Structure 1
Amino acid sequence: MSAADAKVLKTAPLKEEDARWTKLILTTYSDARGKERTWEHAERKTRPKGSDIDGVGIVAILEKPSGSEIVLQKQYRPPLDKVVIEVPAGLVDAGETAEQAAVRELKEETGYVGVVSENPGFCNTNLKMIHVSVDMSLPENQNPKAELEEGEFIEVFTLPLQDLWAECAKFEKEGYAIDARVGTLAEGIEIAKRWKL
């Protein structure tokens, strides 16, 4: 079974009372000239009380003798009707910190046991990017087994960090969509190489 085996069968309007994960919002605001305008957007219903974020994206790095590798996954996303190359990610549970959620989600989605690095990144959306290091000398990281929920079909793979940009270009040519978090990270690595940062 592969994420590529999934496909959209139909689409239909969703009543607000039937929506588990999101709600539609109409925001009225004043633009820079004082003109009143509106903006349609969606909000998640899953944000834990007292938290300013809904979820975490995880930059998990495997330190191998051959060089650093990033943990990625292939997951079918119905809104795009494509398999998307993504970093592991997930929602924050009530009473859980972003860092705890990142370690839990990494284990659930990939089987890897990681620890939060001292310097997590932050994205200005309602998603916090957490940097996690995976100690490849630990027995539990030798043959990791994901603990996927019903309905999750995730293919986990790793790539050398130095090849991320070129591999993303190959995936796009093969018809995959590249998640913005992965594309931005790949571009950042290329910028650092080019300008020797």
Structure 2
Amino acid sequence: MRRTIMNLARAKVLKFEDLDSSKCKWVKTQKIFYEDPEGKQRDWECAARRTRVPGQDIDGVGILAILKKETGPEVLLQKQFRPPVDGICIEIPAGLLDPNETVETCAERELLEETGYVGKAFSVTPVMFNDPGFCNTNMKLVHVSVDLNDEKNKNPQPQLEDNEFIETFSVPLKTFPETMRELAAQGFKLDARVQNIADGYELARTFPVA
């Protein structure tokens, strides 16, 4: 579906209410009974997705897409209103794994659907857990290269679903940490994966490795 995002700032939360886990479509809450390192029995509350493909060890992928420009590499990002935090988040493209789909194929498919760009996956991280004290959701981060000289990338058109409202933009890698601080100061919510990339780059600049 092709459309132009007019004004993400119009989105807002109307109310919050408790929800019975049995009535949830995408997630569920669980109580875990476990034994701690000293042999004492304890319990823990957590959330889990209902969407993981049987036989897979991950829920989906995050996509670190690099636009190859003459002025230097740029990181492809998104702005998206997220109801749980009642605000517009700065995120990397991401998506859930489909049945019989490789991690690389998933990343390239989701990138095309969410941003319109055709990319090539070239590196995959180990499994990453988003918030292991709260939920079992996990992912692999896939590095994807986007060739802007490719005719398919001259006029990228996202293929968004009816409930997706995503605005795509890019940030030069050389100023990535500074830009994230500016966006946070403007009131945007930073996805941890995005800020971790910024921190990693800033750390590499502070402590360069020969």
Which TM-score tier does this pair reach, normalised by the shorter chain?
A: over 0.9
Which residue of structure 1 lines up, in the alignment, with residue 126 of structure 2? 122
1:20, CA displacement in angstroms?
Answer: 1.0
TM-score scaled by structure 1? 0.96
CA shift digits 1:136-157 (9 cap, x unpaired): 1111111111000111000100
CA contact (8 A) 1:55 1:91 kept: yes
Relative to the length of structure 2, the TM-score reads 0.90
Q: Which amino acid aligns with 1:148?
A: L
Offset at 1:123? 4.1
Provide the identity percentage.
47
Task: Tell me which amino acid in the other structure corresponds to 1:18.
Answer: K
In the TM superposition, 1:8-27 aligns within 5 A as 8-27=13-32
Deviates most, 178-187 or 16-25: 16-25
Distance 1:155 1:24 in 2: 31
User: Deviation of residue 3 (structure 1)?
Assistant: 2.1
Name the structure 1 match of 2:69: 64
Q: Indicate the RMSD between aligned Cα atoms, in angstroms.
A: 1.1
Alignment-derived partner of residue 194 in structure 2 = 182
Moved over 4 A (4+): none
Q: Cα deviation per residue 1:125-174 (whole Å; 9 max; x = unaligned)?
A: 22111010001111111111100011100010000011111111011111
1:64-103 matches, within 5 Å, as 64-103=69-108
Partner Cα distance (1:120, 1:12) in 2: 38
Aligned pair count reads 196
Q: Is the 8 A contact 2:32 2:44 kept in 1?
A: yes
Rounded Cα–Cα distance in structure 2 between residues aligned with 1:184 and 1:76: 20
Alpha-carbon distance in 1 for matches of 2:175, 2:40: 47
